Amino acid sequence: MKLRYTADINSYKRMTNAELKEAFVVDDLFTPGETVLTYTDVDRAIVGSIVPQQKPLELPQSKELGSDYFCERREIGVINIGGDGVIEVDGERFAMTYKDSLYIARESRDIQFTSNDPKQPAQYYLVSYPAHRTTKTTHVSKPNAKHIELGSAVESNERTINQSIRPGIVDSCQLVMGFTELEEGSVWNTKPPHTHRRRSEIYMYFEYNDDNRVFHFMGEPSETRSLVLAAGTAVISPAWSIHSGAGTSNYTFIWAMGGENQTFDDMDHIPISEIS
């Protein structure tokens, strides 16, 4: 497991583009045949990917967790952005098609990730936070998520928010997770930008080609910085930072939050006129 130490609210202002990327961006995801995990000091979150091919892959025990197995004191949210596959949790099998979500509860011990077709492998994206209680592992297909339509074509931010791991659908401890799909012709997400000092958030951008990029904006409203991200890249957002983006085409991003509460609307909006 790799370790990621982020910059604080003052030092990021003096960092180069390369230093900002090293502090906040996770760009080694979705390696075929491998489990890739990064542990960040922001709320002790773990972000990673699992791309099984011929053989099943598992979550390794790691000294960074100080536990006997990965989920001994953790919960995990998983969303599949590749081919069909199966996740087996303590003997129970969950079929995972494109954009299906799986919440894996604390104390789940034996977890295996497989692909139905090694030539078109599943690409499991995961985010994990510490969990204080044991709940129930729950599968959520895309149709069973809560869908919220927002924005407009006029403002270039017509989008659908798909909330798959959230209260009322999944009984999680602190993890809230889902994905936002932008319509063709729309490029702005999270408009207006906001912070939520009671929670951290991790974005992972995908569904755009190699010729396009997303410009992710971070930092305090009065001191924003931009990170230029290729598809399949995650970015860590501390509680003090805004998180917003504009792409050179439409795209989709997975968001995951952990912190003091699970109230999706608990955010402090920043008027565009105050961004600099």
Q: Which residues contact 134 (CB under 8 A, 6 or more apart)?
A: 105, 106, 107
**Gyration radius from the chain CA atoms:** 18
Q: Is 269 annotated as a binding residue?
A: no
Is 196 a known ligand-binding residue?
yes
Among 261, 149, 132, 146, which Cα is nearest to 196's? 261
Instruction: Name the strand (E) or helix (H) holding 18.
Output: helix 17-24
Torsion of CA 10, 12, 13, 14, to 10 degrees: 110
Closest-CA residue to 244 (of 253, 256, 257, 231): 253
Q: Are residues 142 and 180 in contact, defined by beta-carbon separation less than 8 angstroms?
A: no
Amino acid, single-letter form, for residue 23 = A
Residue 272 neighbours by CB distance under 10 Å: 11
The count of C-alpha atoms lying within 13 angstroms of the C-alpha of 156, restricted to the half-sphere facing its C-beta, is 10
Instruction: Using the structure block, give the residue that is written with the tokens 């920043």.
Output: 270
CB-based contacts of 160: which residues, under 8 Å, 6+ apart? 147, 148, 149, 150, 180, 181, 183
243 in a known ligand binding site? yes
Beta-carbon count within 10 A of 36 CB: 17
Residues annotated as binding site for Zn(2+)?
194, 196, 201, 243
Residues annotated as binding site?
194, 196, 201, 243
